Structure 1
Amino acid sequence: MRLNKLLIYRIMLVGWLALAGQWAYAQGPLTAPLTTAFTTQNFPLVHAHWAAPLCIDPRDAAVVRVAAEAFAGDVALVTGVRPALREGVGVPAGPAVLIGTLGQSALIDRLVASGKLKTDHLRGQWESFVIEVVEQPLPGVPRALVIAGSDRRGTAFGVFEVARRMGVSPWVWWADVAPAHHAALYVAPGRLAPGPPAVQYRGIFLNDEDWGLRPWAARHLDKDVQDIGPNTYAHIFELLLRLKANYIWPAMHPGTKAFYHYPADPVQADRYAIVVGSSHCEPMLRNNVFEWAENYAAEYGQKPGPWRYDLNGPQMYSYWEDRVKAAATYESVYTVGMRGIHDGSMPGPPSRPAKVHLLDSIITDQRRLLGAYHQQPVPQIFCPYKEVLTLYQAGLKLPDDVTIVWADDNHGYIRQLSDKEDQKRSGGSGVYYHLSYWGAPQDYLWLSSISPALVSYELSKAYALGARRLWVVNVGDIKPAELETQFALDLAWNVDRWTPATAADYPRRWAAATFGPQLAPAIAGLKQEYYRLAQAAKPEHLLGVAFTEAEQDQRLAHYQKIAAAAEALQKRVPTALQAAYFELVLYPIQGARLLNEKVFYAARSLSLAQRGQDEALGYAQKAQAAHDQIQALTRRYNDDLAGGKWAGMMSAHPRDQKIFELPPVATPVLLAAGKAAPVAQRAAPEPRRIAAAAFTNKQEIAGEKLALLPGLGIEDQSLTRLPYDVPSFTVANLARAPYLEYKAELSAGAHSIAVRCLPTFGLYAGRGLHYALTVNDGPPQVVDVNVPADSPQWKENVLRGFSQGQTRHQVAAGGPAIIRVYLLDPGLVLTQLQLD
């Protein structure tokens, strides 16, 4: 009977799954189409209601079994047939899937020894894998699909790569992305061998979980502890593996108990091979909010002393030592240094030099602890976040092997990167980057709206300047930052795949893999416009940005257009993907549209009431309706999707910020007062604007180019100098500097010209963001748009989505004029000119 089956498998192959163009990983879509084309060369993963067994070595790492079991579920989800999982050195006769880690799996090592599997590229590599159809790998096995990893995570990544290429999204569970059904699956001959990843440690920070992840986890997955516990983390860790990530900063907000408080949490992390770290304010894997401020007495039987190492060093040292001992058997990355108990400045002596000296002694003692309990050097990071950056700049000398993890300004713009000397450090550098944020000048905890183009520009810049050891992305509650999170981690895996020049195409590729190629162009167009509108003011930031009535009308028209298109497109989405479409596309677009309507209609109602115009009350009603629709939309997310699976996950008013309230609106009393004494208003003329991409001439210099970056900035296209770290120019050598020219009709007299740029920072200490501007070859005027983080100007810049320089020029005679903008520093990103 078995021989007859083998004959059938060899002859009656009715379809195949080509692994993305003969395994060309960096090319083509994530999944290739199924076909019924006949071939006798393809491997039958599922054929005639039979699935090839998945064979693993029981002595291999636990994550190999975890991945194999998840993959068996994926195959069943796609085909309705679940493959058997076989553990042992023996393999049943017939086609089989052989999964294992080089040096840890007897199955894989046997293939290597016999010459059936070439693994030279795997040896000694980090998280690499090979996927290959091998002919007659073992006696009785005519053909096998072999998935082999260089280490335990490499094997798991290889398994989930096959799952992704057969149509299973990384968000299959977390966003209800149901794969298309196929009765049979075949793998074409070929070899895929990616790796190692561009960034060694790649992961997420669960943060500000108060309004979504924690209440949802307590309600659904970890009811026993009413918290984010091991069951929730199991789902998160599987998501990370599916995204080829390996690292996490666990949730740590007040109200969430420490990761190590639940003994099953670190065990679960090790089972999934996830490396555990801790945030910038949690040294030595300790969650100080819970473990020091709240639970210390319960753990140690006494109250803690002050959180000051200069006054209470022995107690704090012992506190850190206990965690190092408990974590010694697990794979971890330790944060060294110190800040306040929860995201505050480091307490200590008042002078900056004294604080630098104290911080140096703290790090010395922490490293002594690590050396005492670890047999080999353990990865360590130092994150100069907020005020800690000033201590580093004041002369803190880090040990060479500690990785500096540079932070953005919490709004997507990296404050500082490694200079030429820092780039020589053996520990290298990394990035802590925000897709979600609680804090000044304004939160953005509700919707995720930082574009792939911006993420790529900033993180690719960091990579070019040596930030290749660790990237951690603050994703808030995970939802609704699914697309943006996946992009950041895809970029960390293969930084060359999504450059700043190509990143704008990512939503289309993502949509094709998630919803199919037919819907992808339309979804990508919706997403791109959503990102463009948010660059000029995130929905949560509308109260901090002044728009003219004309600009308000234009924004509303654009939002209403994409919202209507998203609603219409929903009718074309398959039933099985309706929940996913609502979560990933419709909710953020409709939510952004409604919040803009609420704010602008409320403001318009007051303006009209002051003028005594009856339309005021109609706009007040529109504002109320928009507010009510946001609540209804959110109830639908929580209560209706997937049978209530996400109940408690989505809040329409995180932190109960003012932006989520109904603003003041016109009333009959206000309207009557306006009619009695109307306020005259004269609309200011709209300034002329020129998109940066509308240049008429340019000068580039040897070894670099002025690159056009689609999807970046308030105009949806920006220009910058690439590569990143190139020389700066001054007025003294202005003739050799790169420039862009623009034509405009200018009247005789004085003119003010504003140059709007992405609100980035200078590459590193000592570098600025200078440009020079001339009109009709007149005298150049130089402006530096590099402003300090947390300054009033920075706050205005990040809310409105651009920094701006302004110069005044005298035009002798009216007529066509040539405006020339010299880009003097790298890192300057030009997006728009405004002529007043």
Structure 2
Amino acid sequence: MCNTVRAPYPTPSPSPSGEGGRPLANVRFRPALLSRRGGAGGGVGRRSLWLTTLVLLLVGHSSLAQAPLTAPLTATYTPQNFPLVHAHRAAPLCLDPRDAEVVRVAAEAFAGDVALVTGVRPALQKGVGRPPAGPAVLIGTLGQSRLIDKLVASGKLKTDHLRGQWESFVIEVVERPLPGVPRALVIAGSDRRGTAFGVFEVARRMGVSPWVWWADVAPAHHATLYVQPGRLAPGPPSVQYRGIFLNDEDWGLRPWAARHLDKDVQDIGPQTYAHIFELLLRLKANYIWPAMHPGTKAFYHYPASPVLADRYAIVVGSSHCEPMLRNNVFEWAENYQQEYGQKPGPWRYDLNGPQMYHYWEDRVKQSADYESVYTVGMRGIHDGSMPGPASRPAKVHLLDSIITDQRRLLGAYHQQPVPQIFCPYKEVLTLYQEGLKLPDDVTIVWADDNHGYIRQLSDKEEQKRSGGSGVYYHLSYWGAPQDYLWLSSISPSLVSYELSKAYALGARRLWVVNVGDIKPAELETEFAMDLAWNVGRWSPATAAGYPLHWATATFGPKLAPAIAHIKQEYYRLGHAAKPEHLSGVAFTPAEQDQRLAAYQKIAAEAQALQKQVPAALQAAYFELILYPTQGARLLNEKVFYAARSLALAQQGQGEALAYAQKAQAAYDQIQVLTRHYNDGIAGGKWAGMMSAHPRDQKIFEMPPVATPALVAAGKASAALASFVAAGPAPRLIPATAYTHKQERAGEKLTQLPGLGLGGQGLTRLPYDVPSFAAPDLTQAPYLEYRADLPAGPHTIAVRCLPTFGLYAGRGLHYAISVNQGPPQVVDVNVPADSKQWKENVLRGFSQGQTTHEVSAAGPATIRVYLLDPGVVLNQLQLD
């Protein structure tokens, strides 16, 4: 009970209309079956509940271009509705001071959210004394809040489904919960994070975006807020630990933080992390790998940082090259002498084991009182291979001894088992495949290839391990074959396909996503966290609908369809070559024209749509929609127009100079847009965050262009002009344009909108279906296509998503025949870091080629068998 007596709460009067008599619509979240479906086996428990879903009835001024809810609003009052805000009064927020600190953190943020929406800030009342005289919001954690436990004991609140569950919560309107309280909105969690997630769930449902601060997404204003009777009980989450890795922060997050939030330390410090941790809670995330690049001091270097993480109930881990929560770039290579009074020895455990053991031990002791996930194993000081013996067997033996010693440390300072992960990233995967035997309770965190395609997942034996598995996934990357640090263009469809595949093969313990500087990957980050919370909500077959869902919640239903279309085209074009990767992909002139026309179309649409965006959302629209769309368009124009100017100059054509001017104009406009991002929106809030040339890569420079002298000479350097590929556009058949298909019992040939080249993929689902090989090839599911072919030999290229076999020993085979000829088998699974892999990830597809003899001209039947699960067919290319 709250310890402050308040005047009687004003009784709302029924009214058929909103303020000023203007009728508003009614929002009703109807009863729904909430289900978290997982595959066979373990992971976090699942539960299906028939629930009457929470209803928020928001009454006041609203706009379809700034809607806070995905359903209609109403002004209709019924006596059963809980008045969260009415007549300029807000129901107080009551919590037990003995509850976890994150409960107070969430309640304070929620009070600010209510004030942002209504202009009225609820009082925050801590204590269990006398109740308020009127409706109240009761917030607390089961077993930690006396308020909540009293409701349970009296039978007013049913919590059987919460007990023992991970991060679950219930939101319910309860009649007469306490003496003197006629009605309460109760938000109760199974644990401290569950309570916080419940609080922020109500905030989301009243229109407050997780990006309210990080992307300036202002909610619509409403004078009154009501909650209709009902019960919402989400959880537990699909994935136990869900979070982000702050990485490559050199050109955005760190200089911005030093300029705005952590001026005293000129770094990413506690003030910045406070905002990041709140964002994570709003996203229902719970885990972080802190920033760790050279120039960024270690998370633990600032004593307030781990204390702050605990206050926000965020679990702290460390990246694949930072064992035992140690940031080696700073703490070993730079600050060791300051910390220990002597220089460190070599970063080699076989030569300097005692010193490294003590170095790790100190962090284990320091972090023992906090929720942490410890990375075990060892790599180089910063994202390099582990120094040590030359041979792989010797390296495996050394790695085994390192992990044994690290676990001994954890056992010495932790009373309970502590979560541990091993990330076989890059060269470490080779050592794991060489025979490293991990303790059964260590979670294997499988990594993608840095470009969104998971290299390997757990086989059937590995799926039995008690530690389970997880995924380290990239939305941003610095490295080979080319960076993508500027814009964010990996689609929800690809994220869903890869992470849903991982989940199906047991990766349910931990997902961590490399989000770079956080901005501009807001949509993609939110999608990954939404998927981790409820993996069944956005399957590979439905993930293409996420941009519409997100745009509706962010910009309202009026603008959402147009925004969703822009984003879908943006993802389709980016899959064929990210803007940062244009110099590594050869397009014919016809393909260049198609790309330019498509980019120019969505850029024009985005520019025109801006006029309809409310003033309060203009900054958000620029950050989330306009800048990435225009930036991608302009970079394509710069590269293609520059190359075209040189090609025309070789022919001595004066038109070359016009294209040179267009290229220069595109380059200049990128600089103008970026300056506007930093200095022209949100009052300069983001100054220093956006760089138009991260890592000063060549792709961001102004390329060579035609000059009058080159045109006069009628030639230019062949090297400069070699970017333009000659030849007509290829003849393509989309995978979904089949004329017949044959499926097997228990599986489907499933279309995946938005996935892969051309924006359409087709694959076998579920993921655990069998593979086929000779002599049973023709028993595999297949698709048939029709095409007119002249007599003679024909080469057919099959383009597929450039992913990997499901796990070690599995391939990505298809078989193809023409006019019932003998099937030819092709494997499009290629080793990561190979030359072919580099080409594949830049152009967005892997490809197999076969040659077939056609005896007579006319319609031909092309049959493609999908022999392995994991093959995603995108296109057939005919010669």
TM above 0.5: yes
Query: Which residue of the other structure, out of 383, 388, 398, is the alignment partner of 2:438?
Result: 398
Query: Which residue of the other structure, out of 808, 815, 821, is the alignment partner of 2:851?
Result: 808
Residue in 1 aligned with 2:11?
A: 8
Residue in 2 aligned with 1:716?
A: 759
User: Judging changes above 3 Å, is the alpha-carbon distance between structure 1 residues 595 and 40 closer, same or farther for their aligned structure 2 residues?
Assistant: same
**How far off its partner does 1:612 sit?**
1.1
1:573-584 to structure 2, matched below 5 A, reads: 573-584=613-624
Is the partner of 2:757 in helix, strand or coil?
Answer: coil
1:708-747 to structure 2, matched below 5 A, reads: 708-747=751-790
CA deviation profile, 1:614-646 (whole Å, cap 9, x unmatched): 100000000000000000000000001110000
Q: Distance in 1 between matches of 2:6 and 2:642?
A: 76
Residue in 1 aligned with 2:695?
A: 655
Residue in 2 aligned with 1:88?
A: 127
Kept in 1, the 8 Å contact 2:10–2:86? The answer is no
**How far off its partner does 1:23 sit?**
7.3
One-letter amino acid of the structure 2 residue matched with residue 40 of structure 1: P
Kept in 1, the 8 Å contact 2:710–2:716? The answer is no
CA deviation profile, 1:320-358 (whole Å, cap 9, x unmatched): 000000000000000000000000001110000000000
Q: Distance in 1 between matches of 2:178 and 2:388?
A: 66
**How far off its partner does 1:684 sit?**
2.3
Q: Distance in 1 between matches of 2:157 and 2:790?
A: 74
One-letter amino acid of the structure 2 residue matched with residue 350 of structure 1: A
Residue in 1 aligned with 2:115?
A: 76
Kept in 2, the 8 Å contact 1:17–1:188? The answer is no
**How far off its partner does 1:21 sit?**
3.6
Establish whether residue 47 from structure 1 lines up as the match of residue 50 from structure 2.
no
Q: Distance in 1 between matches of 2:267 and 2:331?
A: 15
CA deviation profile, 1:255-276 (whole Å, cap 9, x unmatched): 0000000000000000000000
Q: Distance in 2 between matches of 1:677 and 1:171?
A: 48
Q: Distance in 2 between matches of 1:395 and 1:244?
A: 37
Query: Which residue of the other structure, out of 792, 795, 798, is the alignment partner of 2:835?
Result: 792
User: Judging changes above 3 Å, is the alpha-carbon distance between structure 1 residues 95 and 10 closer, same or farther for their aligned structure 2 residues?
Assistant: farther
Residue in 1 aligned with 2:105?
A: 66
**How far off its partner does 1:5 sit?**
4.3
Kept in 2, the 8 Å contact 1:20–1:30? The answer is no
One-letter amino acid of the structure 2 residue matched with residue 755 of structure 1: V
1:25-424 to structure 2, matched below 5 A, reads: 31-90=70-129, 91-424=131-464
User: Judging changes above 3 Å, is the alpha-carbon distance between structure 1 residues 675 and 368 closer, same or farther for their aligned structure 2 residues?
Assistant: closer
Aligned-residue Cα RMSD (Å) equals: 1.8
Residue in 2 aligned with 1:510?
A: 550
**How far off its partner does 1:11 sit?**
5.9
Is the partner of 2:848 in helix, strand or coil?
Answer: strand
Is the partner of 1:693 in helix, strand or coil?
Answer: coil
Kept in 1, the 8 Å contact 2:108–2:124? The answer is yes
Is the partner of 2:11 in helix, strand or coil?
Answer: helix
**How far off its partner does 1:689 sit?**
0.4
Q: Distance in 1 between matches of 2:601 and 2:376?
A: 49
Kept in 1, the 8 Å contact 2:241–2:287? The answer is yes
One-letter amino acid of the structure 1 residue matched with residue 287 of structure 2: Y
Q: Distance in 1 between matches of 2:847 and 2:541?
A: 23
Is the partner of 1:483 in helix, strand or coil?
Answer: helix
Runs of 4+ residues over 3 Å off in structure 1: 2-7, 9-33, 675-683
Percent of counterpart pairs with the same letter? 84
Q: How many residues align?
A: 835
One-letter amino acid of the structure 2 residue matched with residue 479 of structure 1: K
**How far off its partner does 1:18 sit?**
4.8
Kept in 1, the 8 Å contact 2:6–2:133? The answer is no
Q: Distance in 2 between matches of 1:23 and 1:94?
A: 30
Q: Distance in 2 between matches of 1:768 and 1:232?
A: 44
Establish whether residue 479 from structure 1 lines up as the match of residue 515 from structure 2.
no
**How far off its partner does 1:726 sit?**
1.1
1:406-805 to structure 2, matched below 5 A, reads: 406-674=446-714, 683-805=726-848
Residue in 2 aligned with 1:828?
A: 871
Q: Which moved more, 1:159-168 or 1:9-18?
A: 9-18
One-letter amino acid of the structure 1 residue matched with residue 294 of structure 2: P
Is the partner of 1:34 in helix, strand or coil?
Answer: coil
Kept in 2, the 8 Å contact 1:416–1:761? The answer is yes
One-letter amino acid of the structure 2 residue matched with residue 185 of structure 1: L
Q: Distance in 2 between matches of 1:184 and 1:676?
A: 68
**How far off its partner does 1:731 sit?**
2.8
Kept in 2, the 8 Å contact 1:20–1:31? The answer is no
**How far off its partner does 1:37 sit?**
1.1
**How far off its partner does 1:677 sit?**
13
Kept in 2, the 8 Å contact 1:613–1:675? The answer is no
Q: Distance in 2 between matches of 1:126 and 1:233?
A: 24
CA deviation profile, 1:40-93 (whole Å, cap 9, x unmatched): 110000000000000000000000000000000000000000000000013311
What residue ranges of structure 2 are gaps of 5+ in the alignment?
Answer: 19-24, 36-52, 56-67
**How far off its partner does 1:8 sit?**
1.8
Is the partner of 1:443 in helix, strand or coil?
Answer: coil
**How far off its partner does 1:734 sit?**
1.8
Is the partner of 1:430 in helix, strand or coil?
Answer: strand
**How far off its partner does 1:724 sit?**
0.5
Is the partner of 1:650 in helix, strand or coil?
Answer: coil
Is the partner of 2:714 in helix, strand or coil?
Answer: helix
Q: Distance in 2 between matches of 1:761 and 1:454?
A: 13
Kept in 2, the 8 Å contact 1:297–1:303? The answer is yes
**How far off its partner does 1:687 sit?**
2.2
Q: Distance in 2 between matches of 1:384 and 1:561?
A: 42
**How far off its partner does 1:676 sit?**
12
Q: Distance in 2 between matches of 1:458 and 1:156?
A: 29
Q: Distance in 2 between matches of 1:382 and 1:317?
A: 18
Q: Distance in 1 between matches of 2:545 and 2:105?
A: 33
**How far off its partner does 1:685 sit?**
3.4
Q: Distance in 2 between matches of 1:450 and 1:685?
A: 28
Is the partner of 1:41 in helix, strand or coil?
Answer: coil
User: Judging changes above 3 Å, is the alpha-carbon distance between structure 1 residues 505 and 289 closer, same or farther for their aligned structure 2 residues?
Assistant: same
Q: Distance in 2 between matches of 1:494 and 1:743?
A: 40
Is the partner of 1:819 in helix, strand or coil?
Answer: strand
Is the partner of 1:8 in helix, strand or coil?
Answer: coil
Q: Distance in 2 between matches of 1:396 and 1:276?
A: 26
Kept in 2, the 8 Å contact 1:504–1:711? The answer is yes
One-letter amino acid of the structure 1 residue matched with residue 647 of structure 2: S
Q: Distance in 2 between matches of 1:483 and 1:445?
A: 16
Kept in 2, the 8 Å contact 1:739–1:822? The answer is yes
User: Judging changes above 3 Å, is the alpha-carbon distance between structure 1 residues 682 and 461 closer, same or farther for their aligned structure 2 residues?
Assistant: closer
User: Judging changes above 3 Å, is the alpha-carbon distance between structure 1 residues 99 and 13 closer, same or farther for their aligned structure 2 residues?
Assistant: farther
User: Judging changes above 3 Å, is the alpha-carbon distance between structure 1 residues 302 and 776 closer, same or farther for their aligned structure 2 residues?
Assistant: same
Q: Distance in 2 between matches of 1:567 and 1:368?
A: 59
Q: Distance in 1 between matches of 2:848 and 2:69?
A: 42
